Amino acid sequence: MPSSQHPGPPAGPRAASVAPAQLLEQLEQGMAGRLQPTLAATLQAAARELEARRAAEPAADRLADQLTGLRILSRYVGVSERRWRKWFARGFNGWPQPPRPMADDAYALVSDDELQSQLVGQPVIEALERRFSDPLDVIDKRLWSLAAQLGGQVRPHNPVAPRHVVEAFLHAFPATEVDAPLRAGLLRHFERSVAACLGDAYAWCNTLLSEAGHSLVGTGDYALLMAGQPPSGNGGGKADLWAEHNALAPAAGSTWREQPGHKRPAPRRTPSDAVRGNALRQRMRGLRPPSPAERRAMRLEEFLAVLSLLQGEPAPALATEGCAQRLRVRLAEVAARLGIDPATAAPAPEQDDAVELVGRLFDDLVASHALSDQAAARLSRLPLPYLRLALTDPYLFERPPSPALGVLDRLLRLWDANPCRSGAETELHELADAVADDIAEHFHGDEQVFARALEQLEQVLEPLQRRAAVAERRVGQAIEGRERLQAARAEADRHLAERLRAPMLDRVGGFLREQWRQALVQAWLRDGAQSQRYADLLALGEAVVRIDADAAHARGHAVADALLALEAPLRACYVACGLDEGGSQVLLAQLVAELANPDAPRSPQRFEPLLEGGHDPAAGNPDEPVPATVGQRVVRTLDDGSAQALRLAWRSPLGGDLLLVNAHGGRELLLGAREFARMLETGRLRLRAADGPVEDALRRLEAAPD
């Protein structure tokens, strides 16, 4: 096919100098050299773990046996490395044809140990494949063009895929030589060690293939490559395919390099009913810096491959600069390692919109919350998973919140103003740390990671929140009971003062100060100040004062009639204060005897107030407005400058006082409405949004000035 009609992909600087077979050898040697050291690192990590467990459990014989076995393996690590290298090289033998069975196991039955090793290794393989799915997809498509040059007839397997790496490890430590528990532990440590290396190894592999001129090839491209060539025995067949004079043009959308004169496919569009998400993305397009027009737009699979590699690298602090700009710099650095030249390729508009939106969201969350250094470090790892999700889920920012935003919201609540000064605060902080680490390490496109994280948070938080709710309810009830008692005493003191204005008999004054006032307090608490019982007691007090006045003026008939009418209420008042029938009868008889003597001395009466501290809770205004609602989170600035998250748990129905409790429901502050407002004005208290930190941040982004 003439090159004038189908211009091939431009060759990299090494395309003309490296033969396909030599390139394949470089790929094998380079990947093996980068991954083989993980075997020794695995043994060292497993030894450290076993030694620590042995120190904690000195009587555990199984740990001693495993440690002995591990020391023997470490002594002969060279043998294991040779086995690993031999099995890893098997994937390259005869490539691109599928690997043939090894000579020594062509007809061997699979033993129970081997079946068990496959079961043990499969979860590790699947986890690594999920984690590096996007870089592997890019490598696969580059390998198709290399396979075409080497005469491949079918879609080639990927010799550097996690399956080959893990299977080589299992053959390096066979089940016949390593017992099952030790082998499982070694595999667990190997997964961690190799995962830390695979990102850089796959980036190197991509760069090597890219520099050799192997761009992405789609399925249709490979079929055309195979169909358009003479049989492999024909001289000059597939080996000349990528020569300058006979290069096959890549199919539309299947290469990272633009075709001259080819119209770029329309960008991905989010569904039209994702109203809020579309509006946010469109707003970000007006706020982000423009992308140079001469650079081509990266395809989604390219961008996701870059994200996958970037996710495995250490994250810089979010506060050092704008998150979106920092993401762009790091994306460009990793893209260059993948063979995507930042000078000629840039994120597509919808990708850059997502970068700007996620970056500004995390900038807002950092700026509006009091995070510890540990929390900030964990939060700095989360923009990449949420950026991936923003690209693949158009409904991420719609209402009701998705599980991913629900997780982020709960993490911010657990981290915000958490000084870890109590066991409950430390437990909540550690829970958020663990969930954030799990998302950063394991989210590679599977949205169930967020659903599982949300379920984990709710399962752990539900009993903690239930205990805190019980504690704060008890605190609120105790304060309310105290306030009601104080209010009842204050009301009784006022009524007593009104009735002791004139001089009277000491026996009458004593009854009013003791039994009558106490009965008033009880009636207020039990039935309320508007009840009939309370009104009857007030009338009883007025009647006793009138009887004393009539007795002072020698109105014996009126005194006798009144005492007969009040005998039952007086007796009930004595009994209500704890006296038995005999005691009440004695006191009543003494009262009647003194009232029957018009010459008995009368004097001004004094009393000690029942109200403690002189503060009447009912003097406050429960309807005085405050800029907070019960249940809202409040951040308190402590004397040392640190912050503590509190919760407005209760407001007094009597005086309007506000109760602030800590993470485990314990009382921290009881403030009047005006004092609460003053502390907000001075910054000693800061309100958090009632509907959560993420929703509050999104609202600010929606209202951001152009």
Phi and psi at residue 529, to the nearest 5°: -70, -15
What are the DSSP E strand ranges found in 556-653?
A: 633-637, 643-651
408-411: long-range pairs with CB below 8 Å, 24+: 408/365, 408/382, 408/694, 409/692, 409/693, 409/694, 409/695, 410/454, 410/457, 410/461, 411/378, 411/379, 411/435, 411/436
231-238: long-range pairs with CB below 8 Å, 24+: 232/151, 232/153, 237/151, 238/148, 238/149, 238/150, 238/151
Check residue 522 and give its pLDDT: 93
Q: Cα–Cα distance between 17 and 186 in angstroms, integer?
A: 41
Check residue 208 and give its pLDDT: 86
Q: Is residue 392 within 8 Å of 450, Cβ to Cβ?
A: no
Q: Is residue 33 within 8 Å of 84, Cβ to Cβ?
A: no
Cβ-count burial 97-121 (b if 16+ within 10 Å, e if not) = eebeeeeeeeeeeeeeebeebeebb
Low-confidence ranges of the chain (pLDDT < 50): 1-16, 102-109, 219-220, 222-269
Check residue 116 and give its pLDDT: 56
In 3D, which of 611, 596, 495, 497 has the Cα closest to residue 547? 596
Q: Cα–Cα distance between 148 and 155 in angstroms, integer?
A: 9
Q: Cα–Cα distance between 359 and 325 in angstroms, integer?
A: 8
Q: Which helix (H) or strand (E) holds 345?
A: strand 345-346
Q: Cα–Cα distance between 431 and 412 in angstroms, integer?
A: 12
Phi and psi at residue 93, to the nearest 5°: -70, 120
CA dihedral 66, 68, 69, 74 (to 10 degrees): 120
DSSP 203-263: HHHHHHHHHTT-----HHHHHHHHHTS--TTSTTTGGGTTSGGGPPPPPTTSSSSPPTTPP
DSSP 86-105: HHHHHTTTTTTSPPPPPGGG
Q: Cα–Cα distance between 385 and 382 in angstroms, integer?
A: 6
In 3D, which of 608, 498, 493 has the Cα closest to residue 545? 498
Q: Is residue 297 within 8 Å of 347, Cβ to Cβ?
A: yes
Residue 683 burial class via C-beta count within 10 angstroms: exposed 0-12, middle 13-18, buried 19 and up: exposed
In 3D, which of 120, 258, 92, 103 has the Cα closest to residue 183? 120
Q: Cα–Cα distance between 407 and 475 in angstroms, integer?
A: 30
Q: Is residue 340 within 8 Å of 256, Cβ to Cβ?
A: yes
| Sequence-separated (6 or more) residues with CB below 8 Å from residue 190 | 38, 39, 42, 124, 166, 169
| Sequence-separated (6 or more) residues with CB below 8 Å from residue 473 | 665
Check residue 573 and give its pLDDT: 87
CA distances to 34, 70, 92, 187, 538 from 181, rounded to whole Å, are 27, 11, 31, 10, 82
Check residue 286 and give its pLDDT: 84
| Sequence-separated (6 or more) residues with CB below 8 Å from residue 446 | 130
DSSP 322-341: -HHHHHHHHHHHHHHHTT--
Q: Which two tokens stand for residue 45?
A: 């990590």
CA distances to 145, 150, 211, 229, 626 from 240, rounded to whole Å, are 12, 10, 18, 10, 80
| Sequence-separated (6 or more) residues with CB below 8 Å from residue 63 | 50, 53, 54, 57
In 3D, which of 626, 640, 706 has the Cα closest to residue 674? 626
Q: Which two tokens stand for residue 61?
A: 């014989």
**Domains (ranges, CATH) in the chain?**
22-101+131-230 (no CATH), 275-446 (no CATH), 501-606 (no CATH), 620-702 (2.30.30.140)
Check residue 531 and give its pLDDT: 94
Q: Cα–Cα distance between 281 and 268 in angstroms, integer?
A: 13
Q: Is residue 190 within 8 Å of 42, Cβ to Cβ?
A: yes
- Cβ of 670: how many Cβ atoms within 10 Å? 16
Is the bond into 96 cis (omega within 30 degrees of 0)? Answer: yes
Q: Cα–Cα distance between 398 and 275 in angstroms, integer?
A: 7
Secondary structure string (H, E, C) spanning 569-589: HHHHHHHHCCCCHHHHHHHHH
